[in-house]
Amino acid sequence: MPNLPISSLPQSTALQGDELLVNVQGGVTKKQTVQDTLNANLPVTSSGIVVSGDILPATGSDITLGSLERPFKELFLQSGSIHIESKQSGELTVDIVNNLGNLDVSSGGMRLVEPGNSFIAETGSFQYISGSMTQVGDYLRIGNTVTTGSTDLSGSFTASLQEGYIWLGDSNNISTETSASSLATYLTSSFITPEQTGSFVESSYISCYNSSSIDLDTAGPEQVIPFTSIWTENGISLVNNNRFVFAEPGVYKFEILTTIYNNQSSEYDAWFWVKYNGTNFPNSTSKVTAQKQKGSGEHAHELVAISILGVAQNPNDYIQLYWTGEDTNLSMAAENGNGVYPSSPSVSLNIIRVG
């Protein structure tokens, strides 16, 4: 066969592996097949190798891509998934897929088995659709945790609270720190019936009186009723001798007792009412008619007993008692005792918290 240039040689068909190639080895021209060339396992050095089809291992298994000593820097997948067979025959395989920016791991789960490893999610949330989550060791939570459904605990549970505080749940199923001092008010408003309040509500009360007679200075205009002395008090204070200030909001019962004196031969009316924070308390007026005197020097008198149930809405709210009448001869007189019975005040007042 004449010696022809390569360009003049006929085009080969699909390679079978037994085709002969020529090489020079040790200064001697030798022959080798195409399959010998492929089996030589020689390193390929290039700035970039472009493969137009699939890359398949020759023996099917136990083939690695890179190594711990010589790993690949980056691996780019345009689409599709990474399919991983199990080490155990017959076990489920796992596919790792990019699903709209989320990393989906099909079947099985993900385990961090090396000591000191951790799972960190900077933003977003961690959800699992079904199954269970088991945590071994300490669990440190920073921020709020919202649980829907029941939580069963086996062992001890520790939560940090300030001294004098308890956990209290609200209508949104969120527990907040609540001072123990406000628990009585919460229980009263939420759980305790009026019949039960006597033994549970924190006791607030005042009992006071005026040891001097009180005259009606002017017929018609309002006149505040003063008090000079206190029998006992707790949670309610007498300020300026006429204001009853409540330390805490709540439901309070007011009881007023006095006697109206009239030294005239005509009947006169008198009115008593309550002011709440300086404003007339609606429907709190009681009207009393003082009868005319029975005879010369004999004063007519009418016993006045008033009972009102009211609500203090805020701490430091206050009430005052007022009165007026048709004639300045009306009075609330104090009387001295006679050795058998003690003296009587011109007016007395009891306020008791009931709710």
Q: How confident is the model over 131-188, as pLDDT tens digits?
A: 677 777 777 777 777 777 777 777 776 667 777 777 777 666 677 777 766 665 555 5
Instruction: Please report, for the chain, the start and end positions of each structural domain, with discontinuous segments joined by +.
Output: 165-200, 205-353
Residue with the larger pLDDT of the pair 28 and 105:
28
Average predicted confidence (pLDDT) for the chain: 79
pLDDT level of residue 200 (50, 70, 90 thresholds): very low
The pLDDT of residue 131: 65
Please determine, for residue 296, whether its predicted confidence score (pLDDT) is greater than 70.
Answer: no
Which residues, other chains included, contact 11 with Cβ-Cβ below 8 Å and sequence gap of 6+?
A: none
Measured in whole angstroms, the distance separating CA 175 from the mean position of its chain's CA atoms is: 5
pLDDT level of residue 203 (50, 70, 90 thresholds): confident
pLDDT level of residue 19 (50, 70, 90 thresholds): confident
- Span of 179-193, 199-213, 214-228, 332-346 with lowest mean pLDDT: 179-193
Q: Which of 321, 355, 352, 354 is nearest to 236 (CA)?
A: 352
DSSP-based three-state secondary structure for 167:
strand
Residue with the larger pLDDT of the pair 194 and 65:
65
- pLDDT tens sequence across 304-325: 888 888 888 899 999 999 999 9
**Tokens 């009165």, residue located:** 323
Q: What percent of the chain has pLDDT over 70?
A: 78
Residue with the larger pLDDT of the pair 23 and 129:
23
* Domain covering 205-353: architecture: Sandwich (2.60)
What φ, ψ does residue 167 adopt, rounded to 5°? -80, 135
pLDDT level of residue 228 (50, 70, 90 thresholds): very high
Strands (E) across 131-225 are located at 165-169, 175-179, 205-210, 214-215, 223-224
Amino acid at 174: I
The pLDDT of residue 183: 62
DSSP-based three-state secondary structure for 313:
coil
Highest average pLDDT, of 8-22, 133-147, 228-242, comes from: 228-242
Rounded alpha-carbon distances, angstroms, from residue 117 to 73, 108, 109, 113? 22, 19, 16, 7
Residue with the larger pLDDT of the pair 104 and 309:
309
Please determine, for residue 201, whether its predicted confidence score (pLDDT) is greater than 60.
Answer: no
- Span of 175-179, 222-226, 238-242 with lowest mean pLDDT: 175-179
Residue with the larger pLDDT of the pair 219 and 171:
219
21-53 burial code (b ≥16 CB/10 A, e <16): eeeeeeeeeeeeeeeeeeeeeeeeeeeeeeeee
Please determine, for residue 127, whether its predicted confidence score (pLDDT) is greater than 70.
Answer: no
Residue with the larger pLDDT of the pair 91 and 98:
98
Please determine, for residue 222, whether its predicted confidence score (pLDDT) is greater than 70.
Answer: yes
